[in-house]
């Protein structure tokens, strides 16, 4: 045998951070955020690193990729918030998704909402996202230290952006019916503006993010979008342990 069988994650499921907040699927309504800002950067990483992070239930994307996403918005329940999360590109069966391995939120009410409705295991932290005259910059702070400071520059607008930008749904490990499941976080986007730029980083502290194998040496692209976002209620769960071909995604049943 020259090359291995089908690529599976081989990470220890115990190392995936799990939200202790049980998923609440009782409210089936969507959350609408008008004029949300989404700052998204994507990087290639070594397949060996992706495999050691992803559990056996997920296949790494080919090539292996990870994303850093900032979402800034305002909602009547939470007020203004900044949410940031890092995800490893993967797929279950044939659908592309991103497993969230670390997330941060600067608003405690929003943090609790995102935990209860979508399974985020976010840490309360200072998060900022700012568009300036020549770049977009996102920062994540931890214990007064900046652990992520990334920008996109040389930006150019994308036209007809509704058909151009695709965000793969995120997967969050959380408790659902007393079991650990990967719950899909997905949304509809009505884009108003999108710019694309070249990612660069001043700081990317992979140790503080819990995965030293992650690095931003090979950026793919970054976008900043303003969009009306329709956060759908959690609809799908993905098995954490069993391979996609036997586990896979199933619909979340509500009582």
Partner 1 sequence: MKFGLFYELSTPRPFTTENQRMVIENAIEQTVLADQLGFSSVWCVEHHFLEEYSHSSCPDMFLTAVARETKDIRVCFGIGTCVPAMHSPIRWAEKAAYLDMLSNGRVEFGTGRSSTWNELGGFEANVDDTKKSWDEYCRVIPKMWTQERFSYKGNYFSMPERCILPKPVQEPHPPMWVAVTAPGTELDAADRGMGALILSISDVERNVPRIQEYREHIKTCEPVGEFINDQVAIANWMYCHEDSEYAKQKGNELIGTFGYMAGQTVEISEAYPANSYKALGLLGSLRQDPNAPGDKKNPPASGLCFGDPATIIKTIRLWEEAGADQIIFMVQAREHLPQEEVLNSMRLFAEEVMPHFSEDEIPVAVNT
Q: Which residues bind partner 1 (CB under 8 A)?
A: 1-6, 42, 44, 59, 61-63, 65, 89, 91-96, 158-161, 163-166, 168, 194, 196, 220-221, 223, 235-236, 244, 248-251
Min separation Cβ 187 and partner 1, Å: 16
| Of residues 98 and 102, the one with the C-beta less far from partner 1 | 98
What is the distance between the alpha carbons of residues 77 and 17, in angstroms, rounded to a whole number? 26
Nearest Cα to 71, choosing from 54, 58, 53, 87? 87
| Of residues 56 and 105, the one with the C-beta less far from partner 1 | 56
What is the distance between the alpha carbons of residues 240 and 249, in angstroms, rounded to a whole number? 10
Min separation Cβ 66 and partner 1, Å: 12
Are 71 and 249 in contact by the 8 Å Cβ rule? The answer is no
Residue 163 C-beta-side C-alpha neighbours within 13 Å: 2
What is the distance between the alpha carbons of residues 80 and 107, in angstroms, rounded to a whole number? 8
Min separation Cβ 223 and partner 1, Å: 6
Min separation Cβ 91 and partner 1, Å: 6
What is the distance between the alpha carbons of residues 150 and 206, in angstroms, rounded to a whole number? 13
Q: Which residue has the tokens 């840490």?
A: 123
Min separation Cβ 184 and partner 1, Å: 9
| Of residues 46 and 235, the one with the C-beta less far from partner 1 | 235
CA angle 224, 94, 119 (to 5 degrees): 60
| Of residues 8 and 81, the one with the C-beta less far from partner 1 | 8
| Of residues 1 and 255, the one with the C-beta less far from partner 1 | 1
Residue 126: partners with Cβ closer than 8 Å, 6 or more residues away: 106, 139, 140, 141
C-alpha distance from residue 94 to each of 165, 178, 239 (Å): 19, 28, 15
| Of residues 91 and 211, the one with the C-beta less far from partner 1 | 91
Min separation Cβ 16 and partner 1, Å: 20
């Amino acid at each position: 045998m020259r090359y291995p069988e089908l690529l599976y994650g081989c990470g220890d499921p115990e190392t995936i951070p799990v939200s202790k907040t049980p998923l609440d699927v009782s409210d089936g309504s969507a959350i609408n955020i008008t004029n949300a800002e989404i700052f998204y950067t994507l990087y290639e990483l070594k397949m060996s690193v992706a495999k050691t992070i992803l559990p056996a239930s997920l296949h790494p994307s080919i090539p292996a990729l990870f994303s850093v996403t900032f979402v800034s918005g305002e909602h009547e329940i939470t007020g203004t918030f900044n949410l940031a999360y890092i995800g490893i590109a993967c797929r279950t069966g044939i659908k592309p998704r991103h497993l969230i391995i670390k997330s941060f939120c600067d608003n405690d009410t929003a943090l609790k909402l995102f935990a209860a409705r979508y399974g985020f295991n976010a840490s309360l932290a200072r998060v900022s996202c700012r568009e300036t005259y020549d770049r977009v910059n996102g920062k994540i702070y931890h214990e007064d230290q900046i652990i992520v400071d990334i920008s996109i520059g040389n930006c150019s607008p994308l036209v007809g952006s509704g058909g151009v930008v695709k965000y793969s749904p995120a997967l969050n490990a959380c408790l659902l019916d007393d079991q650990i499941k990967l719950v899909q976080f997905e949304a509809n986007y009505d884009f108003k503006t999108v710019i694309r730029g070249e990612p660069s980083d001043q700081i990317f502290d992979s140790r503080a993010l819990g995965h030293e194998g992650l690095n931003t040496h090979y950026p793919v692209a970054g976008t900043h979008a303003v969009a009306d976002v329709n956060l759908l209620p959690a609809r799908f769960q993905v098995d954490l342990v069993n391979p996609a071909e036997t586990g896979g995604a199933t619909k979340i049943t509500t009582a």
